[in-house]
Amino acid sequence: MHSLAEFLIIAVAVTLTPGPATATILRLAARDGRRAALAATAGNSVGVLIWGSLSALGVSALILASQLAFDALRIAGAAVLIAIGLRSLFGRPRGDGPLAGTGQRRAAGWRSGLLTSVSNPKLAVFFVALFPQFIAPGSAVLPYALAMAGVIVLLDVLWFSVLALGVDRARTALTPRVHRGMERFTGAVMVGLGVRLATESR
What residues does each domain of the chain span?
4-10+18-199
Q: Determine the pLDDT at residue 93.
A: 57
Q: Determine the pLDDT at residue 163.
A: 92
Cα 89 off chain centre by: 19
* Average confidence score pLDDT of the chain: 80
Task: State yes or no: pLDDT of 95 exceeds 60.
Answer: no
How many percent of the chain have pLDDT more than 90?
A: 19
Across 82-111, average pLDDT: 72
**Contact residues for 133 (Cβ-Cβ < 8 A; gap 6+):** 1, 2
Residues counted in the chain:
202
129 or 52, greater pLDDT = 52
Q: Determine the pLDDT at residue 186.
A: 76
pLDDT tens digit sequence for 62-79: 666 777 777 787 788 788
Across 136-150, average pLDDT: 77
User: Which pTM value belongs to this model?
Assistant: 0.76
Angle between helices 103-118 and 67-90 (to 10 degrees): 150
Task: State yes or no: pLDDT of 35 exceeds 70.
Answer: yes
CA distances from 100 to 26, 97, 122 (A): 16, 6, 33
Q: According to DSSP H, which parts of the chain are helical?
A: 4-16, 20-32, 34-57, 59-65, 67-90, 103-118, 121-134, 141-171, 176-199
Instruction: For the chain, report the end-to-end CA distance as a whole number of angstroms.
Output: 25
Task: State yes or no: pLDDT of 109 exceeds 60.
Answer: yes
Task: State yes or no: pLDDT of 87 exceeds 50.
Answer: yes
178 or 53, greater pLDDT = 53
Q: Determine the pLDDT at residue 86.
A: 83
Task: State yes or no: pLDDT of 102 exceeds 70.
Answer: no
| Integer Cα distance of 65 and 121 in angstroms | 13
Q: Determine the pLDDT at residue 84.
A: 78
